[in-house]
């Protein structure tokens, strides 16, 4: 299942416009904060499909029965671009366990590249809800490789993939290579993916815009 948050009118699209805007992008602190705020909105939307149970809450004047989350998810992010998005999700799921994965493109002289994973820190995820986030879903290969690496830490009962901007090709790839108990949440889906695997119009390199250019 694919859910596109930007298809509905809300303040979310203002944040999408700002992370795309080449002038506003010059302010890296605002860029990070916008991604964090979008992560908060994503967390709120995802929370609507979680499992709840009625619990008693004691107030100074009595008892209130409230429907509360039955369990907290495990939030996983791909370093380094995923950090502000991770923080936005964590602001709402503030009791969640966390996982971090180092993944990058290793480019070859012929223009192709492989996805390299060098580091995975994760709690046990068996029978838990996994929220895996990466701000850009370009080819889809990074998300698929990361998901498979996390399976070595257990098998989640459901996985929610959170991406702010995705390519149509990347979404199709993910749908083909991920199981049915995975939901993809996107802010927007762009149709074009260049030969260098950059999303158009996209926004550029999210990691560089958030934390500075790498060598």
pLDDT digit of tens for each residue in the chain (215 aa)? 999 999 999 999 999 999 999 999 999 999 999 999 999 999 999 999 999 999 999 999 999 999 999 999 999 999 889 999 999 999 999 999 999 998 776 766 776 767 778 889 999 999 999 999 999 999 998 999 999 999 998 999 999 999 999 999 999 999 999 999 999 999 999 999 987 888 999 999 999 999 998 87
Report helix, strand or coil for 157. Answer: coil
Domain encompassing residue 142: 2-211
Report the CATH number at residue 23.
3.40.50.2020
Report the number of distinct structural domains present in the chain.
1
Residues 38-64, buried b or exposed e (16+ Cβ, 10 A)? Answer: bbbbbbebbeeeeeeeeeeeeeeeeee
Instruction: Report angle CA 100, 200, 43 to the nearest 5 degrees.
Output: 40
Helix axes 28-47, 12-20, angle to 10 degrees: 150
């Amino acid at each position: 299942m694919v859910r596109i948050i930007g298809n509905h009118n809300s303040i979310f699209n203002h944040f999408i416009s700002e992370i795309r805007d080449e002038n506003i992008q010059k302010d890296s602190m605002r860029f990070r904060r916008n991604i964090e705020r979008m992560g908060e909105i994503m967390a709120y939307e995802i929370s609507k499909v979680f499992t709840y149970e009625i619990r008693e809450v004691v107030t100074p004047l009595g008892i209130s029965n409230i429907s509360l989350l039955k369990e907290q998810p495990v939030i996983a992010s791909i370093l380094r671009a995923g950090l502000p998005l991770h923080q936005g999700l964590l602001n709402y799921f503030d009791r969640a366990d966390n996982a971090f994965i180092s993944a990058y493109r290793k480019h070859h002289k012929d223009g192709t590249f492989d996805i390299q994973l060098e580091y995975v820190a994760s709690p046990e995820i068996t029978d838990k809800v996994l929220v895996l986030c990466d701000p850009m879903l370009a080819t889809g290969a990074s998300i698929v490789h990361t998901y498979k690496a996390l399976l070595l830490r257990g098998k989640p009962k459901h996985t929610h993939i959170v991406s702010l901007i995705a390519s149509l090709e990347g979404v199709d790839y993910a749908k083909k290579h991920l199981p049915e108990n995975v939901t993809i949440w996107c802010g927007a889906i762009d149709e074009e993916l260049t030969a260098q695997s950059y999303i158009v119009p996209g926004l550029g390199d999210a990691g560089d815009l958030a934390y500075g250019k790498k060598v």
